[in-house]
Amino acid sequence: MRRLGIDLSYFFTYEDEIPDGVGFSHFGPVHLLWLGVCAGLLLLFLHYYKRWGGRRRLLAERGIGIFLVGLEVYRIAVLALIGKMSLYQLPLHLCSMAGFLCCLHAFFKWDWLGQVLYTLCLPGTVLALLFPDWVRYPAIHFITIQGFTFHAGIVLYVICQLLQHNIIPRLAALWKVIVFLLVVVPPVYLFDKKFHANYMFVNVPSPGSPLEWLASFLGNPGYLAGYAVLNRKGEGKPTGDLNYESKVNGGDSSCVLGYLQATPDIEADIFVINCGLHDIKFYKEVGHFQVEADAYRANLKQIVSEIRTRGKQMVWVMSTTVDDAVHQKNCTEFSRKNANIVQYNAIAGEVMKEENVPIIDLYDFTAKLGDHVFCDHVHFVPPVRKLHAAFIAGQLIGLFGLEKTK
């Protein structure tokens, strides 16, 4: 596969271990190619579907439904096998539910279910295909393949049902969709609140999606007014996963601040905070950093204030080093330089000193480890990660004592 320019080395790697720059961008070549493949396969299937008799069509519909459930089971099974299955990977997003609902509808054809599939699931899956939140993964990855195939399968199933008149959209039946939402959304919302998740995006709009655009006009929770037509699937990550590209961690300082503001009931005695590596991303096309230095300083002050209003303690961790040369080679969308890390760490140091917040200097610790510490350009090899963990744990014990840091 490498001869064809296809790298499968990350095929079963979860996003938190995939280096920056490996994935694809919205409406970039990879995304458009996937959309083209999905559209082509859908049209090909529908070409034959319209020629088949009733019995064969029914078998095909049930086959699609079973296939969709199988894809979701496959996703969960692989995540479990690679040790990444958690409460944030459950099939509680609307699109995940849609796969199971399609399978149920294939066998029972209940009208209320058809209305839900048309009114909620079809727009949601189309938006998920247009604004996928699995863009951090490579073009060929089990999540990428499952994501495009699963969502395209839902679209295909609903179109088949519309052609067969098994689903007949009716404004008079909208109440059935509302009842469905009233039954499903409240328990999902409570689950999100308890476990700091964001299933169905009822706590925080997904970054980059139309829901975020709605929130800019209607606020939070006002954006939920458009929920019936603007809902898309993402893996059920915590609401803290607000990174602009991939939502794999806390993201930049704006995202960390937004997470803290959105989750006032976090159960923690000590907040150990770091952000900076995402802030210093410099986008050449627009000529600015993801978060400019002045905004970074202001965000850090608000983060400290947010934690102190809760009566909690905070520790700041300095951002780690960057391998400039490897970064420029691996990542073309944006650049990051170690000099900028030094600059932003200096800003963080000033803010934390002013606010009397303890600092763990992970940058200095890492710099003293010498060469051969990186597995790419910003992430570290496993032995270095263990040293980082031990260093941070030792610093915390020194600050607060063993009992409080257990």
What are the residue boundaries of the structural domains of the chain, listed by start? 2-226, 253-400
| C-alpha to C-alpha distance for 390 and 392, rounded to whole angstroms | 6
* Residue ranges in the chain modelled with pLDDT below 50: 1-5, 223, 227-248
Of 35, 285, 1, which Cα lies nearest the Cα of 149? 35
Q: Which residues contact 260 (CB under 8 A, 6 or more apart)?
A: 266, 303, 306, 307
Decide the pairing of beta strands 313-317 and 288-289: unpaired
Q: CATH topology for 253-400?
A: Rossmann fold (3.40.50)
pLDDT in tens, 246-264: 344 557 888 788 778 777 7
What digits encode the pLDDT tens for the residues 35-71? 999 999 999 999 999 999 888 999 999 999 999 999 9
Distance CA 350, CA 365 (A): 19
Encoded amino acid at 389, one letter: A
Tokens standing for residue 317: 């961790």
pTM (global) more than 0.75: no
